[in-house]
Chain A
Amino acid sequence: DTGVSQNPRHKITKRGQNVTFRCDPISEHNRLYWYRQTLGQGPEFLTYFQNEAQLEKSRLLSDRFSAERPKGSFSTLEIQRTEQGDSAMYLCASSQTSGGPTDTQYFGPGTRLTVL
C-alpha cells in the first residue's frame, strides 16, 4: 500500500438515500482527516481522527453526517437522507504524528458524490 485509497471513486444517488464512503489511510498513519470540496472551491475540513478517537468536527458536519474509525485503521463517512447540496468531492487524508503539528497530510483520490 503506497498511498491513501478511497472507495468508491464515484457515487450517484437519489435525494433522500443514504451513502457510505470508505477511506484506507497509509499504513501506520495514526491521524485521518475528511474534507469536502465543491466545484471551484478549495477543500473544507469536516472532521479528524487520532487513532479511533474523533477529536474534532466542523460545523459543516450536520447531524446527517457521521464518521467512524472503529479500529484506528480505515474510516467510513456516512451521509443520511442525502440532499442535492451534498454533491461534492469527499477527500480523505492521513498523517503520522511526529510529536508536533507539522506532520504532512497525504490525500486520497477522493469520492465524487452526485445527488440527483
Chain B
Amino acid sequence: GDSVTQMEGPVTLSEEAFLTINCTYTATGYPSLFWYVQYPGEGLQLLLKATKADDKGSNKGFEATYRKETTSFHLEKGSVQVSDSAVYFCALSPGTASKLTFGTGTRLQVTL
C-alpha cells in the first residue's frame, strides 16, 4: 500500500539557518503530495502541495519539488524563524481521492 517516510526529529536550528526535511513516498500511479504544519495546540494546516512530477509547491518561504525519479518531496526553507517551530507532516493522496496518507511528522525547533 501507499506509505510516506520522513526524517525523524526533533530538528533544532538557529534562526536564519537553512532547513531541509526529507520525505520519500511509495505509491502506485501518480499521487498528489502535501506538506502540512501543526503549531502547538492547533490542527493541521496545509502548507503546500504538488500534484504532478516536477511541480514545485511554495508558501511562506517554504518550498518542495515533486521528484518522481527519486520518489521524494523534500521540504526546504532558506532562512527559518522562531515562529516556524512546529511539527511538519508529509502526506500523499492517490490522484483526486480524498484519503490522505501521512508520514510520522518531524518536529522543528528554531532558537534565537
Partners in one complex: no
- List chain A positions with a Cβ less than 8 A from chain B: none
